[in-house]
Structure 1
Amino acid sequence: MAMGMKFSHELSYTWAFRARPYGTTGYAETMRAVLQYTAEDVAGRISTPLLITSPEHEQFWPGQSERLAALT
């Protein structure tokens, strides 16, 4: 991560922007903080209409759309 940040100002800025809300100082600490957040505890309280899409051949989060739909 540190090497990538040195060579890409845009990547460094994006990481800093996205990590700021967590109040963390390192990459691993930030990733641990991010993993603490889940929609499982709150999805059942969604009371407005919600469109959940499920793209064909999803490569990054396969099955997440179905998991969310099952929770709502």
Structure 2
Amino acid sequence: MAPASTVGASSRSPSAQGAKAHCRAYDSVKNRGRVLAPTAWQRLVQAAGGEKNVEAYCAERSAKRGKRQWKR
């Protein structure tokens, strides 16, 4: 589902809001046979610490987001 290569990934660390947005976008496209835009994918991979960590990274962020909603 992801681009085959992350060559040229930005050296800039994404903001927390940006990472959340990228995870939401990733979650919305991952089961539809689509991929994120290359720049968004590269930033998400960087935030996750590597391509193999993206799924777990986004799952963790989603779980944290759910817990905060219940604390209101």
TM bracket, shorter-chain basis: 0.3 to 0.5
Q: TM-score, normalised by structure 1?
A: 0.37
Q: TM-score, normalised by structure 2?
A: 0.37
Higher helix share: 2
Higher gyration radius (CA): 1
